[in-house]
Amino acid sequence: MTLTVTLIALLVTMAFALIRAIKGPTVYDRILASNALGTKTVLMIAVLGFVVGDPELYIDIALMYVLIGFIGTVAVLKVSEFGNLGQPQSHTDAEDT
């Protein structure tokens, strides 16, 4: 019962984050909202593991989700800032070229 309420609360929070990600006026609003959405998804997977009754299996999936989500956020930030994925260039370099 408690777990079900937690799941519903997480889903409501995710819906709010999703609305902000779609409406977000600036790119940073969208990135922050999608990052929060990813965090809520990890929590939801963990809670779902206890609902289903097999937490060990779902904790693995949640761990993997958080690692991949971190890399995805870094990649999106890099593209929005520098316009490419390759160079380790600094901000001043980007303004020079």
Partner 1 sequence: MIDNPVLRIIAKIIIPMILLFALYVQFHGDFGPGGGFQAGVIFAAGFILYGLVFGTESLRSAVPPAVLRLLIAVGLALFAGVGVITMLAGSDYLAYNALSEDPIAGQHLGILVVEFGVGVTVSAVMITIFLAFAGRNDP
Could you tell me which residues come within 8 angstroms of residue 41 by beta carbon, excluding any fewer than 6 positions away? 14, 65, 69
The reply to whether 95 sits near partner 1 by the rule CB under 8 A is: no
Size of the site for partner 1 (CB under 8 A): 22
CB of 89 to partner 1, least distance (A): 8
Q: Which helix (H) or strand (E) holds 53?
A: none
Q: What are phi and psi of 84, to 5 degrees?
A: -150, 165
Task: Report the alpha-carbon distance of residue 71 to residue 4 in Å, rounded.
Answer: 30
Residue selected from 68, 80, 96, 97 as contacting partner 1 according to rule CB under 8 A? 68
Residue selected from 11, 15, 27, 74 as contacting partner 1 according to rule CB under 8 A? 74
Segment near partner 1 (CB under 8 A), from 1-9, 13-21, 39-47, 69-77? 69-77
Task: Report the alpha-carbon distance of residue 20 to residue 69 in Å, rounded.
Answer: 18
Binding site for partner 1 (CB under 8 A): 56-57, 60-61, 63-64, 67-68, 70-71, 74-75, 78, 82, 84-91
